[in-house]
Structure 1
Amino acid sequence: MEEALTCKKCKQTSSLPPSAQRIRCLGCQTLLSLSTTADAARSTTQELRLDLSKKKTEAKDLCSSLRRKLPFSTTTPPLPPQNTPFASLHSEPRPGRRALLCGVSYKKQKHELKGTALDVKKMKLLLESFRFPQESVLVLMEEGGFLPPTRENIEEGLRWLVRGIRPGDSLVFFFSGHGKRQREEVAGDEIDGFDETICPVDFEEKGMIVDNFINRTIVRPLVPGVTLHAIIESCHSGTILDLPHVCNARGEWEDNSPPSGAYKGTKGGKAICFSACEDYQLAADTTLLSSDREMTGAMTITFIKAIKESQERKEKISYKGIMDSMHNSIKEAGKSGGIFAGIRRRFHRRILQDPLLSSTEEFDTSSEFNL
């Protein structure tokens, strides 16, 4: 069988007859032999191997350089934890006590808040004292492996809160974040002409959650024997659940029903809301009310403080007792005129807010508070 030899000079290919060891190139007449061709092949192979080895070394050095720049040493970044010991957004809620806790920090945004994550942590501890099972508490936060408090997740969380409710269930909705107000969506739906809103982490892109939606989603479905407590730490939060009765500072109930006559009640259950301030007011983040000078929502820390102090004294506390304690604590802190490390409202150095109590029905506020 003839072999083909390629000349290194002119690249002409010539056929080597059987048994022949050498032949002249048909192009440039250079003497070709099997040995020179083999040497050339070996040389080419060696060059390719050296080039490949060089590229492998360069790639290895590049990977090492990248690893040094990353906050971890593995080639694949670790995924954030997907499971927590708390409830899952898509799990079936258990009967009895359950809660939805939302803390929105708006990280790396111009609206960033410092106290909301701590508000949620303190509220979780409070719920433990009222025997809320951890697996029945759904948390939405921007840290700790929880789902972020996006508009979609908060709205789905509100639906989760009332899914499959039955008589005897106790529900809690806690929100700490920004709140705003806007012109009412439906004419005659608000006494002051404004809807109140809460702001998810993506509200600038996806929009705010309006009080009408909150009322429709977690107030209207409440059946007899079910009680909902909402604790809302945000600006303009007074009537954020659109409840038809508001308790004034004198402990008297006032009618907050829509002028249009639209029904804002339940199917027989009861909803009660503690709000950080009245609809026209702004809520503060402060270090003044925390014993260790941590940044918290003024309403959240005073609400928890009132209940904890009664628990330590092994005394019962009423709704009126909580409201009175909150008003007094905020009033005393406001007198100091201290500068906050971060405030939910930017242009005041003092706390000028009045926590508000509202409900779907009038009740004796001296009755015992319980969750």
Structure 2
Amino acid sequence: MEALTCKKCRRTSSLPSSAQRIRCYGCKTVYSLSTTTTTTTDAVRYKGSTTDERSLDLSKNKTEAKLCRSLRRKLPFTNPAPQQSPSLPGAISLDNEAHRGRRALICGVSYKNQKHELKGSAQDVKKMSSLLLDHYHFPAESVLILAEQEPYLPPTRRHIEAGFEWLMRGVQRGDSLVFYFSGHGKRQREVVRGDEIDGFDETICPVDFEENGMIVDNYINRAIVRPLVPGVTLHAIIDSCHSGTILDLPHVYDIKGKWEDNSPPSGAYKGTKGGKAICFSACEDYQLAADTTVFSKSEKEMTGAMTITFIQAIKKSGDRKEKISYQGIMNYMHESIKQAGKSGGFFAGIHRIFHRRILQDPLLSSSEDFDTSTEFML
């Protein structure tokens, strides 16, 4: 069976070699393919017409059949020409010079063909990149995407760590940085004693984490928090399990509206060089996050619950031509996820977890206390 493309509407249709008539699924144009015995050797005659119906007079021998297949590629269908991978936003090299002003590292890990494959991460990447490019007008060359589809680099441990370096390269006053991660997160006993209040390090899982290990919060803090100089702001949006303090930031904003001290008992410094780091996390350190279809209009599109509610909070305020604050985003996410949980739909999809039970409360953390009624800007 050949897949051929209509010249009128460019719709690709299946064309069995034995077909006598075929209707284009796109523009509904009907084409007639008739075979007749001819006295000429290896002859194929095409009777052209300006109407929607056209016919081919073909001999039945194998030679003519080959010529027929060749003719079909030209009239009235053509095989689609090979296309090069489009130059999509984010399809940039880790060696590219980091864009001054605003830039973002977006990582989406689906773990394709692995035991804990996620269905929502690919959509999360599309939605988050669209938010940055279309809503906040980030330059396309300033958004680096790591994902498991062409033309992007895969989100391996090596590439994510190199992405951190790219993000922080040459940071200067006035820069606005974004780090987004959608994938699995885990926790493990702290490597450095006294480094965590609860005794556990939080981690994110690259696509190759089973072979090359996870990326621990201590490393993330050193890589993208500590280098922040005065006048530079980093926003991290982390949609994974156990992500509450994934950046090891020393201040956590609780649901009651108070900043709590999250500094290590050991007294180790986890702040910046004068810049500011703010992190939106999908859940508390001890909680699990989820993929769900409940926030999809068609209820078929799987997304991370935290990602989709974060984006909805911003876009809905934009539709109303209103400003939204950090507190406003947190309130919207909390309420949306709470209502979805009550409806039961929250548990309908594939969970971003290794278990079944979910309890998810988005968390806000920062390198310093600030007024959460401040307008959220990137």
> TM-score, normalised on structure 2?
0.75
In structure 1, the residue corresponding to 2:335 is in which secondary structure?
helix
CA distances 1:263-316 after superposition (whole Å, capped 9, x unpaired) = 000000000000000000000000011223210000000000000000000100
1:159, 1:263 → 2: CA distance?
21
Q: Secondary structure at the match of 1:98?
A: strand
The answer for the alignment partner of 1:341 in structure 2 is: 349
Shift of 1:81: 4.3
Moved more, 87-96 or 171-180: 87-96
Q: 1:304-343 maps to which residues of 2 (within 5 A)?
A: 304-338=311-345, 339-343=347-351
Whether 1:184 and 2:190 are equivalent positions in the alignment is yes
Are positions 1:122 and 2:130 aligned together? Answer: no
Matched with 1:4 is none
Q: State whether structure 2 residue 117 is matched by structure 1 residue 112.
A: yes
Q: 1:83 to 1:329 in 2, by over 3 A?
A: same
Secondary structure at the aligned position of 2:255 is classed as coil
Q: Does 1:274 align with 2:272?
A: no
**Structure 2 gap ranges (5+):** 1-78
Work out whether residues 285 and 340 of structure 1, in 8 Å CA contact, stay in contact via their aligned partners in 2: no
Indicate whether 1:224 and 2:221 are aligned: no
Structure 1 runs of 4+ with >3 Å offset: 78-85, 346-349
- In structure 2, the partner of 1:91 is 96
Answer yes or no: is 1:200 the counterpart of 2:206: yes
Corresponding residue number in structure 2 for 1:354: 361
> Which range moved further: 86-95 or 208-217?
86-95
User: 1:137 and 1:188, CA in 2 relative to 1: closer, same or farther beyond 3 A?
Assistant: same
Deviations 1:208-254 (A, max 9, x none): 00000000000000000000000000000000000000000011000
- In the alignment, is the contact (CA less than 8 A) between 2:120 and 2:303 conserved in 1? yes
Q: Which amino acid aligns with 2:312?
A: K
What amino acid is the match of 2:114?
A: Q
Counterpart Cα distance in 2 of 1:135 and 1:153: 18
In terms of fraction of residues, the more helix-rich structure is: 1
The answer for the alignment partner of 1:46 in structure 2 is none
Alignment of 1:364 with 2:371, yes or no, is: yes
Report the number of matched residues. Answer: 294
Structure 2 distance, partners of 1:253, 1:296, is 30
Report the residue type matching 2:113 in the other structure: K
Report how far residue 142 of structure 1 moved.
0.4
**TM-score under structure 1 normalisation?**
0.77
Q: Kindly, what percent of the aligned residue pairs are identical?
A: 73
> Do 2:327 and 2:373's aligned partners in 1 also have CA atoms closer than 8 Å?
yes
Match of 1:260 in 2: 266
| SS at structure 2 position matched to 1:217 | helix
Q: How far apart, CA to CA, are the structure 1 residues paired with 2:197 and 2:356?
A: 27
Output the amino acid matched with 1:209.
I
Deviation at 1:259, TM superposition (A): 0.3
Q: Distance in 2 between matches of 1:183 and 1:346?
A: 18
Mapped partners of 2:354, 2:156: distance in 1: 24
Structure 1, gaps ≥5 residues long: 1-72
Pair 1:303-2:310 in alignment? yes
SS at match of 1:232: strand
CA contact 1:106–1:113 (8 Å) conserved in 2: yes
CA RMSD of aligned residues (A): 1.6
Q: What is the CA–CA distance in structure 2 between the aligned matches of 1:316 and 1:79, rounded to whole Å?
A: 42
Counterpart Cα distance in 1 of 2:279 and 2:214: 20
Secondary structure at the aligned position of 1:180 is classed as: strand
**137, 147, 158: which one aligns with 1:131:** 137
Distance across 2 between alignment mates of 1:85 and 1:280: 35
CA apart distance, 1:144: 2.7
